[in-house]
Structure formats: C-alpha cells, structure tokens
Amino acid sequence: MLNTSILIILISIIIMVIASIISKKTFMDREKSSPFECGFDPKSSARMPFSLQFFLIAVIFLIFDVEITLLIPFILIMKISSIKIYSFSIIFFLLILIMGLYHEWNQGALNWTL
C-alpha cells in the first residue's frame, strides 16, 4: 500500500516536471496585457471604478438577509418549546441583530456619501 502511494506520487511529480519543461512559455508584455479595441489604443481605462461604499452596503444586506432567514426556524420551535425559553432565545437573537446594526450605524457604514 505504501509502495503504491509512493509510486503514484513519484509519477505525478515526474509528469508535472515534464509538463512545465515542455509547456510554451509566455512572456508578459504591454501589448498583450492591454485591452484590444479593433487595433486602436483604448480611449479610457478598461477597468470600471469600484464603489467600496456600495460593496459594504451589499455585504451588510447579505449578512442581515441570512440572519433573517435564521429567524424562520424560531416559528417551528415555538410549537415544541415553552414560552419562557422561546422568548429568551428570540430576544437574545434579535438583540444580537440590533447590536450589529447599531455597530454598523456607529461606524458610519450606512451613510451613503457620493
């Protein structure tokens, strides 16, 4: 079993070395890495500007969206648990959500600035 594993690893390493030696090497130059616009120089940057504020709002939305979906099982738990345990767990979960929202608000992540 050990000999077979060593043989397989050895064959894999040999094939990777041969493939890297035989493979066609490409050299990066300015013309190949620049965007192509029908043979002309591009008029503007090929990359669009990225809004970090939009990204932060989108991530916050996804986090709270996932947390809201975690609230759905609480409806099913209500049938099988006592009202005291149910109330404590739902209040604790909502308190965590509210604290997270307050933290984001306090850090200024919810302020939309242009």
Q: 38 in the Ramachandran plot: left (φ > 0), alpha (ψ -120 to 50) or beta?
A: left
Instruction: Classify residue 12: in a domain, yes or no.
Output: no
Instruction: Classify residue 14: in a domain, yes or no.
Output: no
Provide DSSP, 10-58.
Answer: HHHHHHHHHHHHHSPP----HHHHS--BTTBPPSS-SSPP--HHHHHHH
Q: How many domains does the chain have?
A: 1
The residue count of the chain comes to: 114
Domain that holds residue 98: 52-107
Instruction: Classify residue 66: in a domain, yes or no.
Output: yes
> For 84-93, which contacts have Cβ atoms below 8 Å and span 24 or more sequence positions?
none
Per-residue pLDDT of the chain (114 residues; tens, 9 = 90+): 778 889 999 999 999 988 888 876 655 666 666 666 566 655 666 666 777 778 878 888 888 788 878 888 888 887 888 888 888 888 998 898 889 889 888 988 777 765
Q: Is the pTM of this model over 0.75?
A: no
C-alpha 102/C-alpha 56 separation (Å) is 15
